[in-house]
Amino acid sequence: MEEKNPEKIDLRTVATPALAYLGDCVLELCVRTHLVRKGISSSAHLNEKAMDYVRAQAQAAAMERLHPFLTEEEEAVYRRGRNQGHTTVPKSATPAEYRSATGMECLFGWLYLGGKSDRIDELFKLAYAEIEE
């Protein structure tokens, strides 16, 4: 797929909560696609396995694995999302995990808006390689 920004959006001006919102969807689609390709067909099992990828703790751990592979620009987008003010944190995550997960969502939303689907695939595989072992 050609990597481009067809709408000519200035990605620096997209609100951080909007990037996180979109990135959450992008990650969810990556996870669902990955699990279906693994041959899981039960919706209950798919939903159960998806939680191994989308919980804040899992996303925070995935980001730890990703940091060495990020460009400076990608790292800046991640930090922008991580530093977004949060008024609530789910009971199942620490504030640090939740901030890191939000940063990851921002990064994936930013990559999607930038038309960088190959990079999304690459980073997703790197982020969750440990789950597959």
Q: Is 24 a catalytic residue?
A: yes
Q: What is the pLDDT of residue 5?
A: 52
> Would you tell me how many other CB atoms lie within 10 Å of the CB of residue 97?
20
Question: What are the backbone angles phi and psi of residue 116, rounded to the nearest 5°?
Answer: -100, 60
Burial of 98 (0-12, 13-18, 19+ CB in 10 A): buried
Interatomic CA distance for residues 125 and 100, integer angstroms: 18
What is the per-residue pLDDT for 52? 86
Among 24, 52, 118, 121, the active-site one is 24
Q: Report residues of the chain scoring pLDDT below 70.
A: 1-7, 85-90, 132-133
pLDDT of residue 1: 36
| Boundaries of every domain in the chain | 14-132
pLDDT value for 115: 93
Q: Please provide the CATH number assigned to the domain covering 14-132.
A: 1.10.1520.10
Environment class of 128 (CB within 10 Å of its CB; exposed 0-12, middle 13-18, buried 19+): buried
Residues 122-128: contacts with CB within 8 Å, 24+ apart?
A: 123/66, 123/69, 123/70, 124/27, 124/30, 124/34, 126/65, 126/66, 126/69, 127/62, 127/63, 127/65, 127/66, 128/34, 128/53, 128/62
